[in-house]
Chains A and B, each alone.
Chain A
Amino acid sequence: MENRDEIADLFREKLSGFEAEVRPELWNAVSSQIAGQTAAGISVLTKIIITLVTAAAVVTGVVLYNNSGESGAVKNEQNLQKSKDSDEVVPVVSNVNPELSESGIPQKENDLSKDNPAVSTPEIVNPLNEVNQKAERSDEKQQVIVAGNTDPVIVKDEVLVTQETEAPRNIIEESKGQKVEETTPEKRANAQIKQLPNVFTPNGDGSNDRFTIDSEGLADFQIVILNEANKVVYSSSDPSFAWDGIMMNGDQAPAGTYLYYITAHDEHADAISRSSLLKLIR
């Protein structure tokens, strides 16, 4: 049993620490979702406080009017005032409901947000029957919002756009021959992969026709490029390789999204492992 599983040992050793290039868009997506959670929590709380304060004010007002009514003022006017005041309360309280439904979505989708103050909202809603009806109506709204909440998909479109817009920047940086800190923000030794291109246009127009990696001082370099079906279309162990878009079987690689892995060692024999998407446009 001990010696036998060298395959497991090998893969564990080499792959458990494998790092992949994380696009900044991913953090934006995560960040906006967590921010939404926190903001919803705070604003519901705020609304509850506002509601309580308003309710207290109304009650005080009503009591005052009643008192003054007993001292001989016109009662009809008071009743009008009273009903106006209580009408005003309703919209304020019902404002809480959209918030409630928003914070209710994650519970439905991935039951994560148990900490949302959804529980405390019904307590305020209950005293007013009218509002209960509104709360039911807002359930319908929930579904609409749920549909709207799948927005992160849209992020993908943005991604494609950014990938394209990044290309010119890369080219500019290359021509200036300066250090590219943005694409490799980690502390690196002298040996480094300077940037990971993500667009490649092997259409023979003389611009970006070959896919190369700008690197320095790497040992044991290896790159493997996979197509969308996870088939290896190209691999090389030469750091100064240049892929012309011809697959290993001799065919032209079609336009589409490819994925590449790079591994190497720096001069301290520390492993460098990176990967990135590569968009091939013809």
Chain B
Amino acid sequence: MDDATLIKECLSGSVRAQKTLFDKFAPKMLGVCIRYCKSKQQAEDALQEGFIKVFLKLKDFKLEGSFEGWIRRIMVNTALDTLRKEMKISSDLDAEEVLSKKESNDFILSRLAAAELMALVQTMPDGYRVVFNMFAIEGFSHQEIAQNLGITESTSKSQYLRARAYLRERLEKDNSGK
């Protein structure tokens, strides 16, 4: 069943269609929520709340864009809502400072397993993790991130660069250890 048909049936109130939609997208969306949240429990809460929003706003979805992309945005926003209260992003760092650090390329990134990377993302401090997720994986601009999180654009940039440096350092350490 394609997305358009599925949406139509969901809107007509078919519980079976709603279940199909949930089953189709929930595993991937839980993956998204986990990346943003501290714990899997928190991620599950976000997933649950996010899907309720998806179903309630389904009638507003324009069939032009990507349905998965639309759901993903809702999930990211819901996860951010749950995080926003407790998340502290320090703005003490200047983006330029991190930019100038030299980076080496002498390790093979592509051999790393997604499980390791996922675990690594999970271990990052809140600010790093959220900004890194939004910028690197979901492809938000720093301007969008700044608006969404109520921080400045340069904070978003510096958080991202720090996060990247953090990940790189971890990756290099792991790599040399093997």
Residues of A within 8 A of B (CB): 4-8, 10-12, 14-23, 26-27, 29-31, 33-35, 37-38, 110, 112-113, 115, 152, 156, 220, 222-224, 226, 228, 230-232, 235, 237, 259, 261-264, 271, 273, 275, 277
Contact = CB atoms under 8 A, between A and B. Distances in A.
B40 A231 contact: no
B26 A27 contact: yes
Contacts of A222: 113-116
Q: Which of A11, A220, A271 counts the most B-chain CB atoms under 10 A from its CB?
A: A11
Given A110-B53, A232-B123, A11 B137 contact: yes
Nearest to A35: B15
A154 B118 CA distance: 29
A4 to B, nearest CB: 7
A29 B109 contact: no
B118 A275 contact: yes
B118 A224 contact: yes
Contact of B114 (A33, A110, A271): A271
Interface stretch (B41-49, B85-93, B145-153): B41-49
Given A7-B167, A152-B48, A30 B116 contact: no
Contacts, number: 154
Given A19-B31, A20-B30, A261 B55 contact: no
- 10 closest Cβ contacts across the A-B interface? A222-B113, A8-B136, A261-B115, A18-B31, A19-B27, A20-B30, A263-B115, A14-B114, A263-B114, A224-B119
B117 interface: yes
Interface residues of B, number: 54
Nearest to B163: A7
Contacts of A156: 41
Given A15-B114, A22-B23, A22-B47, 5 more contacts: A11-B117, A18-B114, A230-B39, A235-B116, A263-B115
A17 B168 contact: no
A282 to B, nearest CB: 21
B111 to A, nearest CB: 9
Nearest to A156: B41
Contact of A7 (B48, B136, B139): B136
Contacts of B103: 4
A12 B138 CA distance: 8
B34 interface: yes
Contact of B118 (A31, A34, A37, A261): A261
A20 B119 CA distance: 13
B154 interface: no
Contact of B109 (A10, A152, A224, A226): A10
A19 B23 CA distance: 12
Interface in B94-133: 103, 105, 109-110, 112-119, 121-123, 132
Given A30-B55, A37-B56, A224-B118, A230 B123 contact: yes
A220 B113 contact: yes
Contact of B53 (A14, A18, A31, A112): A112
Contact of B31 (A226, A230, A273): A273
Interface string B45-82: 00111011101110000000000000000000000000
Nearest to B45: A152
Given A26-B26, A224-B118, A263 B113 contact: yes
Nearest to A7: B164
A27 B22 contact: yes
B104 to A, nearest CB: 11
B129 to A, nearest CB: 10
B52 A112 contact: yes
A18 B28 contact: yes
Given A11-B121, A230-B122, A223 B38 contact: no
